[in-house]
Amino acid sequence: MLAKKNRIHSGAIAIVALVLFLSGCTPPGPRALLRGKKLLERGDYAAAVAELKTATALLPTNAPAWNYLGVACQRAGQPAAAAAAYQRASTLDRDLAEAHYNLGSLWLEQNKPDAAVTEFTAYALQRRNDPEGWLKLGSAQLHASDYPAAEKSFSTALTLNTNNAEALNGLGLARVERGRPRDAAHYFAVAVQYHPEYAPALLNLATVAHDSLHDNQLALKNYRAYLALSPRPANWDTVNDIANSLEQPASVVAAAAPPVNETRPPAVVRPEAPVKTSPVVSRAVSNPPPRLTSLVPTQTVKVKPEPEIVSTPGKNAEVELPPAATPLDTTGGKRSGNYIQNGVTPLPQGEARPVPLAQSAAPSYPRYLFLSPRKPNAGNRGAAAGAFTRAKEFERNLQWTSALEWYRRATVADASWFEAQFNYGVLAYQLRIYSTALRAYETALSIQPDSVDARYYFALALKAAGYANDAVDELNKIVAVHPDEVSAQLALGNLYAQQLRDPARARRHYLKVLELDPHHPQATDIRFWLSANPG
């Protein structure tokens, strides 16, 4: 009863202040509060912070004033001050639900999902019939990896708002995370059925169809629907490359398929093993804008959040990235399994396993149309570095498509930065977007033509894209200068043995591998191949 009394009392004071303001006799505290509110509504956040600090100094027990100050600080980019203001508002008036909602939003922005769950729970319990509260609670629970709880929250939102797109998308995401892609696809499809232009569900349905259900027709349909949205999504180029890769002729796809017994190069290290990851799973908005209270704290100004697409792959989704090289880490750090020194990635210790060769005519492969780009001019390295850092953050979180998009932005900001071009190529190769990978590697080689790493991975991408003869040419350039590069020798042996059906040349390179490294991990397989294919 006391809290309710205080709340009514605060409203009464505000109404009196409004009357005094209209009569020209407004006290300084309410006057500062009214000015701060108007500045906040106009988007002048710095000035609003100043006015609202004055208001809270003069009205230290007015909870809505502290909530307004929190909103102004949050929008002005002052998260610590915003959190303190929201907490003060909640302390002064436990029933001020908006303060809990705003603090939950702030904690999500600060990547503190457990704290956000606490605040959104408080809001949802106070406003049980507001579906938006349950949506935000579900989003926070998703970020906190509490998937059963998230499903309950999204289901509650659906009972309050039938066919809500964000709730259906959230249920789909929870099912992806729990390794149930067919259920996830159902929820995404229902969201798209009722909301054909809801971008997160379109992209998620395409992704699950592509990588978990292996239904390329359904995937392509929804990728194209996503690409047709207006305005264009921020990751349009990346998704367009993925869609185009699904339309490759069957002959190219068949040529790119690896031999049955091939052991691929090491993949990017993942936090849990074996984890299969998806290149694109999009979350709806999870960091909603702050809610304002009017000067009477029981009234709320609700701002409808716009969907924000943040790509996050499902940890247990039945999807897989083709392993490739570990992208460069220009920080000089190291990852478990691959040691990165001075921004250079060591070559993998074996590209594929030799298999016995049945004699047959050498197949014919298309030739790659080289772009032969000139060395790019220097660009904005500062902007490129910022994008590069964002890309690596997304990569660490297994958010592959977002990582690819930010590597692309780094190459746009400064096309002359070798590391950005190289990483862009590596990740595009992992996502099977070979045309993008090949362009990026060619550009990287125009910057550093002597880079063994770039040329080796360029050759792997050429092989994967079906250009076996061009892959051989690039690897021969490496061994001509560095005949002791074991990985290049092994890759040549595999190409000659498996794609080009040239056992004599394959034998020469396999023998070189054994000469350079008699205890190579593939040594037994090589000797088996040599015995099955005598010279």
Place of tokens 């100050």: 69
**pLDDT value at position 431?**
82
Q: Is pLDDT of 205 > 60?
A: yes
Q: Closest by alpha carbon to 182, among 34, 314, 339? A: 314
Burial of 119 (0-12, 13-18, 19+ CB in 10 A): buried
Q: Is the pLDDT of residue 343 over 80?
A: no
pLDDT-based confidence at residue 501 (cuts at 50, 70, 90): confident
By the 8 A CB rule, do 346 and 485 touch? no
Contact 503, 496 (CB under 8 A): yes
List phi, psi (to 5°) of 311: -80, 130
Beta bridge partners of 234: none
Q: Which residue has the tokens 């929870």?
A: 174
How distant is the alpha carbon of residue 105 from its chain centre?
A: 20
Mean per-residue pLDDT over the chain, rounded:
76
Mean pLDDT of 340-356: 36
d(CA 254, CA 118): 52
User: How far apart are alpha carbons 45 and 42 in whole angstroms?
Assistant: 8
pLDDT for position 224: 93
Structural domains for the chain: 2-311 (1.25.40.10), 381-532 (1.25.40.10)
| pLDDT exceeds cutoff 60 at 295 | no
Range of weakest confidence among 44-53, 346-355, 481-490:
346-355
What is the H or E stretch that residue 282 is in? strand 282-283
Structure confidence by residue, pLDDT tens digits, 425-458: 998 888 888 888 999 999 999 999 999 999 999 9
Q: What is the pLDDT of residue 86?
A: 94
> Within the chain, how many helices (H) and strands (E) appear?
24, 4
Q: Please give the pLDDT value at position 312.
A: 27
Distance of CA 153 to the CA centre of its chain: 24
Identity of the residue numbered 126: Q
Q: How far apart are the first and last CA of the chain?
A: 95
Q: What percent of the chain has pLDDT over 70?
A: 73
Per-residue pLDDT tens digits for 214-226:
898 999 999 999 9
Residue-level pLDDT at 345: 31
Q: Give per-residue pLDDT as tens, 171-198.
A: 999 998 888 889 899 899 989 988 999 9
Joined tokens for residue 113 = 């999902």
